[in-house]
Amino acid sequence: MRVEILVAPRPLTWHDCINNKYTMTAEELYKNVLEKADEFGVDPKNKGNVIQNPKGNAIIRKFLSKDAFIEGKAFFGFISPEEDVSGPYSDFSFVIFPDSHDKIKECVVSFGVGSLGFKNDYELSVTPGVRRQLLQLRDSGGTVFYKDSFDNIESTSSDLLNEVKAKYRDLTRIITRYKTVLPASVIVNFDDEKTALGIVYLWLAAYADIRGWGTRKHKDEVEKELQKRKLPTPPNDLESIKDLLNTRKYVVLQGAPGTGKTFTANKIAESYKHVFFEQFHAETTYSDFVYGLTPKLDGDSDRPQFCAKEGILYKAINQAQSTPQEKVLLIIDEINRANLSNVLGPVFYLFEYQADRTNSNVKIRVGDIELTTLPSNLHVIATMNTADRSLAVVDFALRRRFAWYTLKPRNLDNKELPEDKIFDSDTYESFARIFHKYATDDELNLQPGHSYFILDRDVNSRKRKSLDEVSLAHRKNRLVYELLPLIKEYLAEGYMLNARSEFSNLFLKEAGVLMYE
């Protein structure tokens, strides 16, 4: 006769993880996840197949019997509170597929869709912020797989399925079963259980955040967990652009209004002895920028008289040739405000940073100078506003000749600012959250930059780290007379339409004004 002695599983310890002497069971993984979900604010409606809390915010599904593993049906997770406790379901879920009942080696954690498709979550599935939220987890551990579109539940998650078939035989049957409804997944290896649980909890936190579980206290726990993501370190823009200039020579700084494009170009100019500046506009011509003729107005002759007109590019070239040991900088502000083909003309040929034209017979005349390429010590910085869609289109040939560096909005540290300025971090974050949630990848280029949120401060005020009366008045003026017209213009052009109500609420709350009377 065989006797089975049931022993309650002991909690996982740090010592066990470090020494890799303990293998987690599926049931233990479930208990760990449920405990963490409780910290994140989950309020289950059911216990098993019985509804015990009709006001709960999630239904728990759990199939972890040995038979479930044998049949390739084992999983557990959280689904919409509107769904049934068993059977096919709809909408987004957080699901974990362990590979073993007794000794987990790997599991697949998925942000999935029920096999019945969408009932209430379709709009959520096409909201860019949902995909963006999960994409931020891609460097935080595990092998990650994403579908191009989260609303696509017809095609197979091919990369995930192929990976599982090739390396994780015990997971093949169940992933094959749900191969079309797993828009975002991560394969987690349990060799190091502490690390594995960290990845699971991070994905769980993202789901809790998207679902809006719990109270403010729970949301703080979710945010604390999400801060463990390995987000890319923001670059030092000044140093990155200087390095780019040294290697590529011709750089376009692009970005939304207020990201500091011209400011950055002028800051870089401080390290150059010779600097030339030109701002393009709709009437800028080849004669203005390169070289041409201009009427001579001080003569007494009845005949028209003309003299040479040296454009800013000619002057920069002349300076670079005169001082070959010194770097020369030409700044072209708002480069896409002019008709570039007309402005550059044949000089366009010279903007080729890596061409070897030492023995070239092709020479371009710029005034009294003949060139096969621009002087090697001449650097060019151009700026371009990505929000101004009514301007000249930049063609692919120009894009190939310039390096393109995007300046992004960022949350400034007040240490970067003069004493009489303060950064309105709260309002900046409010705008950033709306753009993060609703903006397409293209519309992210419209997010107002940080300069909109740099406010005047009363230097005599005792409020060194918060907004004083001067700052609050300045903030309201910025919101009403600068940011409100900008956002209304975006909406009128058809951008960020899904965020219209959130923008309206923001301006009403922060400035007491209605977007539309």
Query: What confidence tens digit (pLDDT) does each residue in 62-85 have?
Result: 999 999 999 999 999 999 999 999
More confident call, 455 vs 341: 455
CA distances 118 to 56, 89, 90, 114, 145, Å, are 21, 9, 5, 8, 21
Q: What is the pLDDT of residue 8?
A: 43
Q: What is the pLDDT of residue 342?
A: 85
Which is the CATH superfamily of the domain at 237-406?
P-loop containing nucleotide triphosphate hydrolases (3.40.50.300)
Q: What is the pLDDT of residue 6?
A: 38
Q: What is the pLDDT of residue 239?
A: 92
Query: Tokens standing for 392?
Result: 């000249």
Q: What is the pLDDT of residue 480?
A: 96
**Residue range 113-132: mean pLDDT, rounded:** 94
Distance between CA 198 and CA 178 in Å, rounded?
25
Q: Which amino acid is at 146?
A: Y
Mean pLDDT of the chain: 89
Q: Which of 190, 186, 245 is nearest to 382 (CA)?
A: 245
Percentage of the chain surpassing pLDDT 70? Answer: 90
Angle at 319 between CA 315 and CA 323, to 5 degrees: 175
Q: For the whole model, what pTM was predicted?
A: 0.81
More confident call, 107 vs 355: 107
Q: What is the pLDDT of residue 351?
A: 84
Percentage of the chain surpassing pLDDT 90? Answer: 70
- 146 strand-pairing partners: 184
Q: What is the pLDDT of residue 70?
A: 94
Q: What is the pLDDT of residue 23?
A: 81
Distance between CA 100 and CA 70 in Å, rounded?
9
Distance between CA 403 and CA 407 in Å, rounded?
13
pLDDT band, residue 143 (cuts 50/70/90): very high
pLDDT above 50: residue 217: yes
The residues spanned by each domain of the chain are 14-226, 237-406, 414-511
Q: Which of 455, 406, 428, 402 is nearest to 510 (CA)?
A: 428
Query: Tokens standing for 364?
Result: 């371009």
**Runs of H (alpha helix) within 249-387:** 261-269, 286-289, 312-322, 340-344
Query: What confidence tens digit (pLDDT) does each residue in 346-400 have?
Result: 888 888 777 665 556 778 888 888 888 889 899 999 999 888 755 545 667 778 8
Q: What is the pLDDT of residue 278?
A: 93
pLDDT band, residue 292 (cuts 50/70/90): confident
pLDDT above 60: residue 131: yes
